[in-house]
Amino acid sequence: MPGARNFDDLKGDLTRSYPGLSPQLQNIATFALEHPQDMALDTVARLAKGIGVQPSAMVRFAQALGYEGFSGLQRVFRTRLVERSNNHPGLRNYRERIEAFRAGHERPGPRGVLSQFVADGITSLEQLLEHVAPADLAAAVKLLAGAKTIYVLGHRRSFPVAYYLSYALTQLELRAPLLDSVGGMLREPARLIGPKDALLVVSFRNYTPEVVEIAKDCHARKVPVIAITDNALSPLARASRICFQIEEKTSMPFRMLVAPMCLAQALVVAVGEQLG
């Protein structure tokens, strides 16, 4: 099978082939979706060093996806970069300004930490505009506005986003209970979710196993599942009707919640508008 010619088809190929790849090639696949700009611009040697594999593994990865060599795969990432630059003319210069800002504020102490988070937060929000498809947003809003009950689920670092969604949707006078595991009672209420309800689930790598299991079970029972996660290889991408993939590149060893929280707020306000 020849390799995909555009980035969306490539993501679909990766999602389908990922379970059959070796652990080494799975690591490359995850990196590729989380760092598409690096895949477009860096050399094979530099990419391999960053992932912790040999350059030959990068070639094998490309061949596993139907390309003759790595250059064919990289061409897809470069085409994506050109298309996004054309759609967002100021984006490249904007990111250059952010990089300059970050470089000029790298100093120890609380002020330096704050500067790093501010720069990464701005970049995350700019990426959010790129990665959220208007059709997905509209479909999610319509689904949430028409659901009998909106169950919200998110544990660990995703919990703040899930808690906000439950709180804010309740303020719209919607039934939006937060599913938690207090007393080990997570699966029991989850079994009550039906096809006329909706499950709004949030989880990022490393994904909470119980959250993924609940999403898979609901999806199998035809419950509409809306997921907020990180990329096409997330287990939630295969267990949801609508999946928002917030790809994020940060210089900090912590996941930023700026973009997921912004998306959560946008969903709530848009649902409120839909309800009039």
Segment 11-34, tens digit of pLDDT: 888 888 888 999 999 999 988 988
- CATH pick for 134-275 out of 3.40.50.300, 3.30.420.40, 3.40.50.10490, 3.10.180.10: 3.40.50.10490
Q: For the chain, give every domain's residue range.
A: 7-86, 90-126, 134-275
Segment 156-178, tens digit of pLDDT: 889 999 999 999 999 999 999 99
The answer to whether the beta carbons of residues 36 and 7 sit under 8 Å apart is yes
What is the CATH topology of the domain spanning 7-86? Answer: Arc Repressor Mutant, subunit A (1.10.10)
Whole-model pTM?
Answer: 0.74
